[in-house]
Every structure is written in C-alpha cells, then in structure tokens.
Amino acid sequence: MKIKTEQQAAGKLSNDINLILHDYDGTMKFMEVCGTHTMAIHSSGVKSLLNKKISLVSGPGCPVCVTEKLFIDQAMFLAEQLGVCLITFGDLIRVPGSNGSLADLRSRGGLVKVVYSPMDSIEIALELAPQPVVFLGIGFETTIPTVAVTVKTAFERKVGNLFILPAFKTIHEPLKILASNKDLTGFLLPGHVSAIIGVDSYSYLADDFKKPGVVAGFDGLDILYALRSLVKMTVSGKPGIENNYKTVVRSEGNIFARKLIDEVFEPADTSWRGLGLIKGSGLAFKAPYDTFDALKRFPMQLPDAPDDPRCKCALILTGTLTPNQCGLFGRECVPENPVGPCMVSSEGTCAAYYKYGGT
Amino acid sequence: MCLAIPMKLVEITGPGVGKVDAGGVRTDVSLAMAPNAVIDDYLIIHAGFAIEVLDKEEAMIRLDLFKELAEATRDEVPD
C-alpha cells in the first residue's frame, strides 16, 4: 500500500471515530493486552490521531515484564551454584535480578546461551552432555507450543540433560481480573496469542463482563480500525468480540498447537509481576514430561525477591499508571540501565514511552 | 515477544519440517503447528515455528478495505 493511501485511510478512520464520539459525553480507556501492540501503537503514531476522549493503556502482555524477579534469581542460582548452562531468549538477558542480570552473569564467566528457537536447546544439550542445561521457559500461548515440541522431541531422543525452568503464562485468567476493573472500557486483544487460542475463547469478556474486545493485526491501520470497532461497540452499548486479524487468526484458533500444549502441560497457579498469584494462569509439566522440570530436578529455597519499592512496573502493567507517572522513568531508569522489566524489554511500556516520547 | 512474521514455504524437507524464504533468506522451520501447509503458502513464523498459515483471501480483503477507506477520504477532502 502506498504511504499516501495509508495516510488517507488512517485519516478516514480517525474522522469516523471523531464522528461517533461527537455526542458522547464520557471518556473511554482501552487496554492493549499485547506488548507487540504497545510498540506498534507508539511507533506508528496512532496515539496522535486519537480523539481526546480515548486513552490507551498497556496491559500485562509482555512476557519479560510479567516474569517475577525470583525467576531470574533462580536462573542465576542454577548457573552459579550448580554449574548449569542457561539457554534463553534474548529478551530476558538484561532483566535485573537480585544479583544482577544474565548479561552480568555471563561477564562473570557464567555460561548463558541465547537462542532464537527453543529447539536449538536440544543441540546445545547434546553438545554439552552430561552437563545439565536449563532453558528459561517464559512466554504466552504463542511461544508455549514451541517449548512443548522441544520437550516432546527431547523426550523421544532421550536427551537426559535438558531441563526447562517454567514461568509460562496464559492470558485468560488475568484478563478476567482486568475486565472486572471498572476503569477499563474494552480490550485490544493480542494477535498471535489469539492465533493459538482463537477468537471464540474470549466470549466471556462480552457475555460476563459486558466489555468489547477486538483482535487486531500489528499495523497502525489495523490498530485504528480495531479502535473504531471498540468505540462503535461502546457507544452502541452492544459489546461483542470481533476479529480484525482474519489474515492469521481463526475463530477456533490453532487446534494443532493447543493439542501440543495439552500433551505436555496442564494448568497451574503462577505469580505475575504486578498482578500477584493468579489461579490457573500458568502451566505445569504433565507426566511423563515432568522429568524436564528444572524446579523438580534442582529444588531451590531462595529468599523472596522484592522489587525496588520506587519501581512502578506493577501499576504500569495493569494500566493504573503510565510510565511518566513513575519517578524513576527517564531519570534513574533508562533502557541502558533499567531498574524494572518494563524498561528492559523492547516491548515494555516504559521502553516504548522512552523511545517514542509517549504521553 | 510474540512477534511473528510471514515467510513463504518453499520446500518440505522432512516430516514436520520445511524451508521458508523471506527476501532470499532461507531458513528451516517446524511445521508441527501447521501440518497442512503446502508449498507456496505464506506461514506466520515465530521462534522457528510456523504458528499459522496466512489466509491469502483475507489478506486481499484487508488491503481492499484500507483502499476503500482511503478513497472515501478523497471523496470527502479533495486534493
């Protein structure tokens, strides 16, 4: 599409929203649940086109940001005290734990390997055997099946020295908690998580909480289009769940991917940074794959790892505050030297505000 | 972190694995989540896995929709 066409389409959508809101007295606050949307909203300039009656807040959809500090401490303990090799997605490498980050660990001589795909862990494990290697298992429904396939493949190939430190998260339970927040009008629903779980799985938002949700693609135009739908449904008082990303997302989701998840994992309670312990919002290994669980193989008793009390990541992850309402933002906490995970991850809300100058 | 990009399937290299191409760069991907993918399909790739097959018809509908919106603006505000 030509840039001019895109600009004209964006102008039309923005005007449409203005017209719909012309006689509307209240304000609307929509949450983009997914971190990739957060970046797209800021980089595309969508916010500058939005009617002042609409505000956008970021949700807990950046896996790095919702991972507790204790997880980093556990990884560091495994490497420093037990001599395991850590394998991680690059996103996690600079997140500060109680004693520095994985990058610091590497500079102190610790073995930390960054992979693009969890499947790469298998070759690393075979190469280093019998030394134990631990893959740091963070991610949502998009990423979880890739770990499930890795575990199944390692099981079939009898790889005995590969383990997974699990901190996987699933989106429905926290979304239910956020949906009960009266301040939030509706939700811009994630694209690639929805490709796995399907649009139909969100029906509770409209049915039980009377809030609209729209699954959106990642272009600025896709996001504006989805916002027009959210505004329309809010003004008409007819909340529903719409799919504006049909190029990729099906109503029923990806059943092959969900079957892979179900073969290896079962729902479990897990803690989210910012939201605390949420029942059934994580995953635990099922037999016979529980032999891959690093927490079972290497039991650890580590002290609590409280966040810096001045860091407002927890409130930013729930859309209660925006980054510029945090005293550390842009001063002590910058991308080169982050205090909290929302500044570390390239998809974090604070990183997006810092890079694009959000308000 | 759930970033995923479309790449074209150019070869099925083994059971559940294939080669995709994006601008001349070829890479191996797992088809475990997209077992029905066929050559020339555009796959949405995340962490070395095809998470879904792109629906070409829906992709065209999307482009047409935005073109229509742009044209509607032209009608409203002449150049």
Domain of residue B33, CATH code: 2.30.30.140
For residue B30, tell me if it sits in a domain.
yes
Positions of chain A with pLDDT under 70: 358-359
Which tokens sit at A229? 């739908």
Residue B57 is given by DSSP the state H
Which tokens sit at A106? Answer: 């590497």
Distances from the Cα of A298 to the Cαs of A122, A132, A282, A350, in angstroms?
19, 10, 20, 34
Does residue B77 fall inside a structural domain? no
| B9, pLDDT greater than 90 | yes
User: ∠ CA A101-A110-A308 to the nearest 5 degrees?
Assistant: 15
A67-170+253-297 placed in CATH 3.40.50.11740: yes
Quick one: pLDDT band at residue B72, thresholds 50, 70, 90?
confident
pLDDT digits (tens, 9 = 90+) for A25-78: 999 999 999 988 999 999 999 999 999 999 999 988 889 889 999 999 999 999
List CB contacts (< 8 A) between A40 and chain B. Answer: none
A7-10, long-range: CB < 8 A, 24+ apart: A8/B69, A8/B70, A8/B71, A8/B73, A8/B74, A9/A221, A9/B66, A9/B67, A9/B69, A9/B70, A9/B73, A10/A49, A10/A220, A10/A221, A10/A224
Of all residues in chain B, the percent with pLDDT exceeding 70 is: 92
Chain B interface includes A308 (CB < 8 A): no
Q: What is the pLDDT of residues B32-56, one digit of tens each?
A: 999 999 999 999 999 999 999 999 9
Q: Do A6 and B48 touch (CB under 8 A)?
A: no
Residue B79 lies in a domain: no
> In this structure, are residues A192 and A253 in contact, taking their beta carbons and an 8 Å threshold?
no
Strand B42-46 versus strand B49-53 pairing type: antiparallel
pLDDT for residue B76: 60
Q: What is the value of pTM for the model shown?
A: 0.94
pLDDT at A220: 93
A119 contacts B1? CB cut-off 8 A: no
| Separation between Cα atoms, residue A44 and residue A55, nearest integer Å | 16
Q: In which residue are the tokens 């009377």 written?
A: A210
Smallest Cβ distance to B51: which of A12, A34, A192?
Answer: A192
3-state secondary structure A120-164: HHHHHHHHHCCCCEEEEEEECCCCHHHHHHHHHHHHHCCCCCEEE
Whether A140 and chain B come into contact, CB under 8 Å, resolves to: yes
Count other C-beta atoms under 10 Å from residue A173's C-beta: 18
Please state the domain extents for chain A: 67-170+253-297
In angstroms, the separation between the Cα of residue B49 and the nearest Cα of chain A is 7
Instruction: Say which residue, B31 or A347, is predicted with more confidence.
Output: B31
Residue of A3, A6, A7, A8 to mutate, testing the B interface (most B Cβ within 10 Å of its Cβ): A8
Q: Which residues pair with A187 in a beta bridge?
A: A31, A213
Residue B78 lies inside a defined structural domain of this protein: no
What integer pLDDT is reported at residue B79 of this predicted model? 46
Chain A CB contacts of B77 below 8 Å? 11
Does residue B58 sit within a domain?
yes
Distances B23 to A76, A263, B6, B49 between C-alpha atoms, Å: 39, 36, 11, 18
Nearest to B72 among A12, A143, A250 (CB): A12
- Total residues found in chain B within this entry: 79
**Bridge partners of residue A87, in order along the sequence:** A113, A135
Return the pLDDT at A295: 97
Predicted confidence (pLDDT) at residue B78 exceeds the cutoff of 60: no
Question: E-strand spans in chain A?
Answer: 28-34, 54-61, 85-88, 112-114, 133-139, 162-168, 186-189, 213-215, 241-243, 265-272, 276-285
State which residues form the domain around B49.
Answer: 5-72
User: What is the enclosing helix (H) or strand (E) of B18?
Assistant: strand B17-22
- Short-list A276, A35, A266, A33, CA closest to A171: A33
* Closest-CA distance of chain A to residue B34, Å: 7
Tell whether B34 is covered by a domain: yes
Q: Which two tokens stand for residue A334?
A: 């910058």
Query: In whole angstroms, what separates CA A68 from the centre of its chain?
Result: 13
> Residues 1..20 of A with a Cβ closer than 8 Å to B: which?
1, 4-6, 8-9, 11-13, 15
Q: Residue A359 has what pLDDT?
A: 58
